[in-house]
């Protein structure tokens, strides 16, 4: 069994696509119209093209807002993206205007940082330390 697709709820799919591609560096994989102002919209990591797709899912379901609001209020990231160097990625993303809610922090087994994805979610960056 393997993960091929996972979703992240976004307030605006086109804004999310721009952020996830232009700022974070993912590549658009699918962009299929699914109705009025809704798309099957996925991105992938250019560093791992055979990895899972990330679906930029419309946040219209009534359960999404209270769920995401509670996570953000508690500072809990909805997803984690692995990078080689959290400090370098933190500096790069700050230059693009990305707002961090947690600066790079060494937690022993990894260095992590958390940012606002401008689409309603907190995302954690992590560089896992090798033993």
Question: What pLDDT does 89 receive?
Answer: 98
Is it the case that residue 131 has pLDDT exceeding 90? no
Question: What pLDDT does 36 receive?
Answer: 87
Where are the strands (E) in 15-129, listed by range?
A: 27-35, 38-44, 53-58, 79-82, 100-106, 110-116, 122-128
Look over the chain and give the mean of its residue pLDDT values, rounded to a whole number.
96
Domain holding 22, by residue range, is 5-128
Q: How far is CA 60 from CA 16, 50, 57, 93, 98, in A?
A: 14, 29, 9, 28, 24
Percent of the chain with pLDDT over 90: 92
What's the pLDDT band for 32 if we cut at 50, 70, 90?
very high
Long-range contacts of 64-72 (CB under 8 A, 24+ apart): 64/9, 68/9, 68/120, 68/121, 71/121, 71/122, 72/120, 72/121, 72/122
Kindly report the pTM of this predicted structure. Answer: 0.93
Is it the case that residue 49 has pLDDT exceeding 90? no
DSSP 98: P
Tokens of 47: 């560093």
Q: What is the pLDDT of residues 88-117, one digit of tens each?
A: 999 999 999 999 999 999 999 999 999 999
Tokens of 123: 């995302």
Q: How many domains does the chain have?
A: 1
Question: What pLDDT does 15 receive?
Answer: 97
Tokens of 88: 């370098």
Question: What pLDDT does 45 receive?
Answer: 96
The domain that holds 49 is classified in CATH as: 3.10.180.10
């Amino acid at each position: 069994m393997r993960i091929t697709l996972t979703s992240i709820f976004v307030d605006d799919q086109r804004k999310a696509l721009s952020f996830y591609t232009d700022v974070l560096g993912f590549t658009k994989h699918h962009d299929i119209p699914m109705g009025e102002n809704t798309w099957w919209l996925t991105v992938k990591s250019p560093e791992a093209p055979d990895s899972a797709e990330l679906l930029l899912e419309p946040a219209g379901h009534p359960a999404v807002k209270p769920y995401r609001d509670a996570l953000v209020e508690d500072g809990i990231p909805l997803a984690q993206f692995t990078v080689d160097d959290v400090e370098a990625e933190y500096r790069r993303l700050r230059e693009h205007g990305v707002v961090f809610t947690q600066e790079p922090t060494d937690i022993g087994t990894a260095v992590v940082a958390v940012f606002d994805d401008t689409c309603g979610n907190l995302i954690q960056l992590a560089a896992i330390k090798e033993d």
